[in-house]
Structure 1
Amino acid sequence: MPTDLQLKIMNAGHRVLLTLTGGRIGNSIFGMPSLELTTTGRKSGEPRRVMLTAPIVDGDTIVVVASRGGDPTHPAWFLNLRDNPDVEVSLQRGPARPMTAHVATAEERAKLWPRVVTAYKGYGDYQTRTDREIPLVLLSPRT
């Protein structure tokens, strides 16, 4: 499992790659669109940005996976949005849009999980590495 420092380095590298290539490299990873998610730090109250992939984009709804590579703990961004669901999302370097996050219900997850694993088999592998159920988060335009 990656350490916090490794995750921060990967995120920074992803942003640099997007910038240096004008988005030609890094806008899509393993066939999934990339996005920058901005949450509010649950302890600091400061904006926190993380690069993620979206295995499902249905119209205005984007699904992200709180896998952390199968780590036994939830990623910090997930804990942040669970406490404050008002987020901003920039999909494939597009303009940041205000969105609301909600953790998929058991019923939603049951429908979405097979689609997530079809989009990227690695998510299924991550689930086998951990006892926690990997959450799916739905991001929808804020109304």
Structure 2
Amino acid sequence: MPAGVRLVQKVSSTRVFARIAPHVVPAMDRAVHRLTRGRVLLSAQMLPGVVLTVPGARSGQPRTTPLACMPQPGEGGKDGWILVGSNFGRPGHPAWTANLLAHPEAAVINWKGRDIPVRARLLSGEERAGVWEAALRFWPPYAAYQARIDREIRLFRLDPLEGCDGPV
């Protein structure tokens, strides 16, 4: 693993990062994504990323959030994505997770400049446990995030709706 990645992982595991990052990282991602017409997501230089748009749980208004993701193989050649509701190790669940719970079939992700309608599914039980282990290998700071909080970090699998392609 390159030294730069290890440094970013170490820094992102800190409480200071958890206080600052939620205000800075998404704003920078949104601005760069908009300026490049969906071609560049700044945080995706370190981790794969999507821009999730889903109606708000209460308002019903479209809510757009840049997020790290884990591209995942699916059944029958249909690939998908895993989203981790870590909220940088802060106490509450991130708002986008409530939005996906309220509107699991109304989500759209922008993946590498393409808009893809998806269906979201909250993972639980053995399936969640297996994906959580993969998430810890993928981005070890998730363990520090979970250790700081009492809630279980939500994991979602997003699958393309019929007729839509998954990750390429």
TM-score (norm 1): 0.85
Q: What is the alpha-carbon distance in structure 1 between the residues aligned to residue 137 and residue 158 of structure 2?
A: 20
Task: Provide the aligned length of Structure 1 versus Structure 2.
Answer: 139
Task: Specify every segment of 5 or more residues in structure 1 that has no aligned partner in the other structure, as ranges.
Answer: none
1: CA distance between counterparts of 2:104 and 2:68? 18
SS of 2:158's equivalent in the other structure is strand
| Matching residue of 1:117 | 136
Higher helix share: 2
List per-residue Cα deviations over 1:20-59 (Å, max 9, x = no partner): 56745626243x2111001111111110000000134325
Q: How is 1:125-140 mapped onto 2 (pairs within 5 angstroms)?
A: 125-140=144-159
- Of residues 15, 19, 30 in structure 2, which corresponds to 1:2? 19
Distance 1:27 1:130, change over 3 A: closer
Q: Deviation at 1:82?
A: 0.5
Query: Which structure shows the bigger proportion of residues in strand conformation?
Result: 1
Aligned to 2:54: 39
- Select the structure of larger CA radius of gyration: 2
| Aligned mate of 1:97, from 116, 119, 131 | 116
TM-score, normalization by structure 2: 0.73
Identity %: 32
1:108 aligns with 2:124: no
Stretches of 4+ moved more than 6 A in 1?
Answer: none
Query: What runs of 5+ residues in structure 2 fail to find an aligned partner?
Result: 1-17, 163-168
